[in-house]
Amino acid sequence: MPLSIVILAAGQGKRMKSDLPKVLQPLAGRPLLSHVLETAKSLDADAIHVVYGHGGDRVREQLKHEPVSWVLQAEQLGTGHAVAQAMPAIPDDHKVLILYGDVPLIRKDSLQKLLDGSSEKSLGLLTVILADPTGYGRIVRDNAGNVVRIVEQKDANTKERAINEGNSGLMAMPAGLLRKWLAALRNDNSQGEYYLTDVIVMAVREGLKIAAVVAPSETEVLGVNDKVQLAQLEGALRAQRAAELMLQGVTLADPARIDIRGNVTVGRDVFIDVNVVMVGDVALGDRVRIGPNNYLKDCRIDADTEIHPNCVVDRATIGPRNLIGPFARIRPESVLHEDVHIGNFVEVKKSDIGAGSKANHLTYLGDATVGRKVNVGAGTVTVNYDGVNKHRTEIGDGAFVGSGSMLVAPLKVGANANTGAGSTITKDAPEGKLTLARARQVTIDGWRRPEKKGS
């Protein structure tokens, strides 16, 4: 059966107390909805329909690149009503899988089981055993253990409220049957809503079996309603990702103090200290060591490189055996080749730094091409900006840039050239020579300090 997925995302999320629509609230740096979409996309569906409502324009704008069809639910009249909005676009011979935009950690495995449980003769329903089922619809089973209906918390009696098996809300069934059942829903319940959950009792009445799949963990089906739950999920995801890294051989100084907001790939024997935030795509080679308090975004760090504490690396490629930091900032489009040392308070931007080169203290290298085995002295600045345009600096292999050099670009420092400390270099410094551009030092003989008047 071809598959259509419907993701419910029209709810307002009042309890978030935020101007940002609930499904755009970030979890691990990405909107809740995009976590669900990622899993949905892995299922090979014919179509993914997202039912949106509150803050709809922002939701669509932010996720406009996603291959989904958007379905407006102008008024939120309940989960059943929400699904019904998507049905005109879904053929009868499809299987429909219903997901929630605010249940972000659902895994493909569980959804696959749900799909396997659904056929012309059965409906797949994902349930969950809860320590505290408050707020959830309860799964009511008969004496033989078959699911017979779902009762919402607000409509449940005391006995039903004591049931600890909850409805995750996620289900799968044939489109033709679902369409018929949705048309028959009524809203004569305590919330005055069209409950999707009422299709269960209809399915049972028609002789379908309810194939209840119990979720492997509570976390997987946890919905987000407020910032407390959002933080709980963030913690759960952090723990999960930290565990994945450790199972790949990474040593984490403290798994509770690492943040992974993207995809991290690792080699063998990587060590990561506390308070490291990794964003986007981060690749760490064999034996890479990341010191405490580092922020790594969309970068590649090759084997045996060590990032000392308190650095920012953003969209850069760092070769093998580098020593970076402490307190270094490697900015976008920087490429550092092997055995490079970038020390404290050094900023590198859009620069290519050759093998074995060093800039160890208080330096700005922007729009520069630095050759191999170059030594950049403390306090050097590539003066790359004239207020309008950016200009490049080229430093040849083996050059020695004296401390405090201002290299006013566009400029070339030749191979094996030296620039004198404190020079403001405005013209090319030729290869193999010492270039000085500073006032000569003079000492005034017979000079006397001024004295205070009247003393």
CA 162 to chain CA centroid, Å, is 38
Question: How many CB atoms within 10 Å of residue 324?
Answer: 27
> Which residue type does 119 have?
S
Which residues define the annotated binding site?
8-11, 22, 73, 78-79, 100-102, 137, 152, 167, 225, 331, 349, 364, 375, 378, 384-385, 403, 421, 438
Amino acid in position 400: F
Q: Which stretch binds ligand UD1 (CB under 6 A): 112-120, 191-199, 298-306, 381-389?
A: 191-199
Size of the site for ligand UD1 (CB under 6 A): 27
| Distance in Å, CB of 82 to ligand UD1, minimum | 4
Q: What is the rounded CA–CA span in Å between residue 26 and residue 68? A: 20
| Contact with ligand UD1 (CB under 6 A) among 8, 33, 48, 215 | 8
In terms of Cβ atoms closer than 10 Å to its own Cβ (0-12, 13-18, 19+), residue 315 is middle
Each as own residue / partner, the long-range contacts of residues 273-281 (CB below 8 Å, 24 or more positions apart, any chain) are 273/309, 279/29
> Of the ranges 192-200, 308-316, 372-380, 430-438, which one interacts with ligand UD1 (CB under 6 A)?
192-200
Instruction: Report whether 350 contacts 334 (CB < 8 A).
Output: yes
Nearer to ligand UD1, 149 or 241 (CB): 149
Residues in 46-105 at the binding interface with ligand UD1, rule: CB under 6 A = 51, 73, 76-79, 81-82, 100-102
Binding residues for acetyl-CoA: 378, 384-385, 403, 421, 438
Is 215 or 260 the residue whose CB approaches ligand UD1 more closely? 215
String of contacts with ligand UD1 for each residue 198-237, x by CB under 6 A: -------------------------x--------------
CB of 8 to ligand UD1, least distance (A): 4
Which residue(s) pair with 282 in the sheet? 264, 299
Residue 152 interacting with ligand UD1 (CB under 6 A) = yes
Find the shortest distance in angstroms from Cβ 151 to ligand UD1.
9
Residue of this chain nearest to ligand UD1 (CB atom) = 137
Q: Which is closer to ligand UD1, CB of 102 or CB of 367?
A: 102
Judged on CB neighbours under 10 Å (0-12, 13-18, 19+), 94 is buried
For the beta carbon of residue 233, count every other beta carbon within 10 angstroms.
Answer: 22
Separation between Cα atoms, residue 137 and residue 190, nearest integer Å? 13
Tell whether residue 166 is a contact of ligand UD1 (CB under 6 A).
Answer: yes
Among 3, 6, 10, 383, binds ligand UD1 (CB under 6 A): 10
Task: Kindly tell me which of 128 and 266 has the beta carbon lying closer to ligand UD1.
Answer: 128
Active-site position among 35, 94, 308, 361: 361
Task: Out of 3, 5, 6, 9, point to the residue binding ligand UD1 (CB under 6 A).
Answer: 9
- What is the C-alpha separation between 252 and 271, in angstroms, rounded? 6
Binding mask 14-53 for ligand UD1 (x = CB under 6 A): -------------------------------------x--
Q: How far is the CB of 75 from ligand UD1 (least distance, A)?
A: 8
Taking CB under 6 A as the binding criterion, the range among 195-203, 357-365, 422-430, 437-445 that sits at the site for ligand UD1 is: 195-203
- Here the tokens at position 17 are 């107390």
Q: In the bound complex, what is the minimum distance in angstroms from residue 320's beta carbon to ligand UD1?
A: 47
CA dihedral over 416, 417, 421, 422, signed as positive or negative: negative
Q: Of the candidates 117, 172, 195, 270, which one interacts with ligand UD1 according to CB under 6 A? A: 195
Q: Is 149 in the site for ligand UD1 (CB under 6 A)?
A: no
Minimal distance, residue 169 CB to ligand UD1, in Å: 4
Query: Residue 354: CB partners within 8 Å, gap ≥ 6?
Result: 337, 340, 370, 371, 372, 373, 374, 397
CB of 266 to ligand UD1, least distance (A): 34
- State which residue, 187 or 369, has the beta carbon closest to ligand UD1: 187
Least separation in angstroms between residue 85's CB and ligand UD1 is 9
Examine the residue annotation and report whether 81 is marked as an active-site residue of this protein: no
Please name which of 100, 121, 99, 95 lies closest in space to residue 173, comparing C-alpha atoms: 95
Instruction: Report the C-alpha gap between 407 and 389 in whole angstroms.
Output: 16
391 contact partners, CB below 8 Å, separation of at least 6: 367, 384, 385, 409, 410, 411
Instruction: Give catalytic residue positions.
Output: 361
Which residues lie near ligand UD1 (CB under 6 A)?
8-11, 51, 73, 76-79, 81-82, 100-102, 136-137, 150, 152, 166-169, 195-197, 223
